[in-house]
Amino acid sequence: MDTQTLIYIFVGLSFALYIGIAIWSRAGSTKEFYVAGGGVNPVVNGMATAADWMSAASFISMAGLIAFLGYDASVYLMGWTGGYVLLALLLAPYLRKFGQFTVPDFIGTRYYSKTARVVAVICLIFISFTYIAGQMRGVGIVFSRFLDVQIFWGVIIGMGIVFIYAVLGGMKGITYTQVAQYCVLIFAYMVPAFFLSFMITGNPIPQLGLGSQVNDGSGLYVLQKLNLVLTDLGFGQYTDGSKSMIDVFCITLALMVGTAGLPHVIVRFFTVPKASDARKSAGWALVFIALLYTTAPAVGAFARLNFIDTVNETSYSEAPGWFKNWERNDLIAFQDKNGDGVMQVRSGEAFEGSPEFAAETGPSGERVVTNTPVADSENEVYVDRDIMVLANPEIGNLPGWVIALVAAGGLAAALSTAAGLLLVISSSVSHDLLKSTFKPNISEKGELLAARIAATAAIVVAGYLGIYPPGWVAQVVAFAFGLAAASLFPAIFMGIFSKSMNKEGAIAGMVTGLAFTFGYIFYFKLMSPEANVAENWLFGISPEGIGVVGMVLNFIVAVAVSKVTASPPVEIKKLVDSIRVPRGAGEAHAH
């Protein structure tokens, strides 16, 4: 069977599975829609959390980032796992004990204020939409490359699938499809990694392979060889970074704290039966996540070695099939600057900007690029980092079913995260804005209907962003983590660990953190991107890491304001006391 047929079969089967689960687990009440009835086993929830968390970015982009950034990419590895320690230790069990449906629920109740709830909803919607646009782009890439479907139809099909299980099943449908999606995505990630590791080092376990010797007889370790090859071509060492230490520090911290403050992750811990289960569940989630996250550095390093091996100093006419496939999809380009027909991979950009292809082909048959060449770099090859994981099986000459598996895995990763995000958007609209703020008399049935309508609307907006990605999407992913770190995390943290934090303090803190972080990112990413260089940054911290400063400001302002305003009422202090002890979870709090 040819690879293309296999891809259709694998993707088709995985979609049929998701839809089957959705029909089986239809939500009948708001409690089932928002928190899957609150009775999910902690291991199952851990697996669902892992799928919820590992997005198109983790599955498709991360290993590519590691391949090209080397040590600097450690910020993602530590940042996107360390947040689970914060969740398990500082937030999850207490939020579960509190026992409501959404993150704004906690903030609105703990700070006895509708204003606080609405501010939290605004933060949540902003964070979630930024994030979801990236997922839809991932769906589009996979469809257009592997299924030969236009991005438009790819996104429409993806929207249709998510619609079925998110709108029908709510959190209940999402939970069980996410479990299935985790299994698909982790299998799809590990299989090529085993193959690659075995091919390059003779040790099939990628985590060990990365620390082993290359089996080319040179006796060099993988990382040593990579350092040698890269420095020969004028790159910096793989195991050394180019980012400043303070920037690496701040980005890592912003990603960790941001992870712990992301609403679609937090809300997963509302679905387990008990507070102690929330802790366990966070542990399981990290185990399932770590499986992929400790494999990614190996995949990245092997991919970089393989890529240079097969492409550098190869004449274009002999370039492998995958190279030309991705070139056809605009994600690889070759500009023959010295006219020798041979591809030189060197440090620096081959040409300015992303490739603009002309209709004709060059002397070696390559697609001609009209971009201005960068004169002081000998590099002739442009490669989009996002393709490394998807192209890996082809680069490594792996069998067709592995390629099909990776296509299904990429879709599973993107769809599971998109569904989780859609759910928190829809529940914040139906539950926090309608039921708890503007229309308290709405019936259970009406609220459920509103949740489904909101989910539908959110899918349409997300789909639009996926089909017509505004230029700023890639630029503002830093928003999601920075804003979560600077706004939601401090408010939730102080709500649990301080009894004297009041509504004035919390609101002032959230608004300060949000405004500062938003302003900084907006200025450097959108208003004057040309000024986005280290010399202009505050304390040398890039927009990706600035959430840390926003968070510190949030804490300072909140504490200062709470000192000069009225202390919270006695009921609130009692509420805090009750969420601090696990006994009695299960019964939800009466408002």
Partner 1 sequence: MADETDTHTTSEAEGAYWRDNIRLLVSLMAIWFACSFGAGILFREFLDQFMLGGYPLGFWFAQQGSIYIFIALIVFYVIRMKTLERKYDLDD
CB of 44 to partner 1, least distance (A): 17
Contact assessment for residue 144 and residue 329, using Cβ atoms and an 8 Å cutoff: yes
Does residue 213 belong to the site contacting partner 1 (CB under 8 A)? yes
Q: Which helix (H) or strand (E) holds 387?
A: none
Does residue 591 belong to the site contacting partner 1 (CB under 8 A)? no
Binding residue for partner 1, selected from 245, 359, 564, 590, defined by CB under 8 A:
245
Write the single-letter amino acid at 135.
Q
Q: What stretches of 337-399 show up as alpha helix (H) in DSSP?
A: 388-395
CB of 294 to partner 1, least distance (A): 6
CB of 306 to partner 1, least distance (A): 17
Does residue 578 belong to the site contacting partner 1 (CB under 8 A)? yes
The overall longest dimension of the chain from CA atoms, in Å, is: 80
Does residue 279 belong to the site contacting partner 1 (CB under 8 A)? yes
β-strands 381-383, 367-369 pairing: unpaired
Exposure string over 88-115, b if 16+ CB within 10 A, otherwise e: bebbbbbbbbbbbbbbbbbbbbbbebee
Does residue 581 belong to the site contacting partner 1 (CB under 8 A)? yes
* Size of the chain in residues: 591
Tokens of 379: 């590099």
Among 203-211, 336-344, 361-369, 378-386, which window interacts with partner 1 (CB under 8 A)? Answer: 203-211
Q: Between residue 452 and residue 471, which ones bind partner 1 under the rule CB under 8 A?
A: none
Q: Between residue 391 and residue 430, which ones bind partner 1 under the rule CB under 8 A?
A: none
Contact assessment for residue 465 and residue 422, using Cβ atoms and an 8 Å cutoff: no
How many whole angstroms separate alpha carbon 124 and alpha carbon 119? 9
Coil, helix or strand at residue 582: coil
Write the single-letter amino acid at 336.
D
CB of 433 to partner 1, least distance (A): 32
CA 507 to chain centre: 27
In angstroms, the first-to-last Cα distance of the chain is 60
Nearest to 408 by CA among 190, 163, 187: 187
Helix pair angle (400-427, 42-53), 10° resolution: 100
CB of 60 to partner 1, least distance (A): 19
CB closer to partner 1 out of 27 and 301: 301
Backbone angles phi, psi at 101, to 5 degrees: -100, -30
How many whole angstroms separate alpha carbon 581 and alpha carbon 95? 11
CB of 42 to partner 1, least distance (A): 10
Nearest to 544 by CA among 264, 251, 291: 251
How many whole angstroms separate alpha carbon 109 and alpha carbon 91? 16
How many whole angstroms separate alpha carbon 372 and alpha carbon 360? 17
How many whole angstroms separate alpha carbon 496 and alpha carbon 243? 35
Could you give the string, one character per residue 21-60, with x where binding to partner 1 holds by CB under 8 A and - elsewhere? Answer: ----------------------------------------
Write the single-letter amino acid at 5.
T
CB closer to partner 1 out of 81 and 344: 81
Tokens of 69: 């950034």
> How many residues belong to the site for partner 1 (CB under 8 A)?
55
CB closer to partner 1 out of 152 and 221: 221
Does residue 221 belong to the site contacting partner 1 (CB under 8 A)? yes
CB closer to partner 1 out of 156 and 588: 588
DSSP-assigned states of every residue in 314-349: EEGGG--HHHHHHHHTTSEEE--TTSSSEEPP-SS-
CB closer to partner 1 out of 208 and 526: 208
Does residue 586 belong to the site contacting partner 1 (CB under 8 A)? yes
Could you give the string, one character per residue 302-331, with x where binding to partner 1 holds by CB under 8 A and - elsewhere? Answer: ------------------------------
CB of 315 to partner 1, least distance (A): 33
Among 102-110, 528-536, 554-562, 570-578, which window interacts with partner 1 (CB under 8 A)? Answer: 570-578
CB closer to partner 1 out of 57 and 136: 57
Among 149-157, 219-227, 502-510, 517-525, which window interacts with partner 1 (CB under 8 A)? Answer: 219-227
How many whole angstroms separate alpha carbon 141 and alpha carbon 155? 9
Does residue 224 belong to the site contacting partner 1 (CB under 8 A)? yes
Binding residue for partner 1, selected from 6, 40, 95, 248, defined by CB under 8 A:
248
CB of 253 to partner 1, least distance (A): 7
Binding residue for partner 1, selected from 3, 29, 276, 312, defined by CB under 8 A:
276
Does residue 249 belong to the site contacting partner 1 (CB under 8 A)? yes
Binding residue for partner 1, selected from 69, 88, 185, 484, defined by CB under 8 A:
88
CB of 224 to partner 1, least distance (A): 7
Does residue 77 belong to the site contacting partner 1 (CB under 8 A)? yes
Q: What residue ranges bind partner 1 (CB under 8 A)?
A: 66, 71, 73-74, 77-78, 81-82, 84-85, 88-90, 207-208, 210-213, 221-224, 239, 245, 248-249, 252-253, 256, 274-276, 279-280, 282-283, 286-287, 290, 293-294, 297, 570, 573-574, 577-578, 580-586
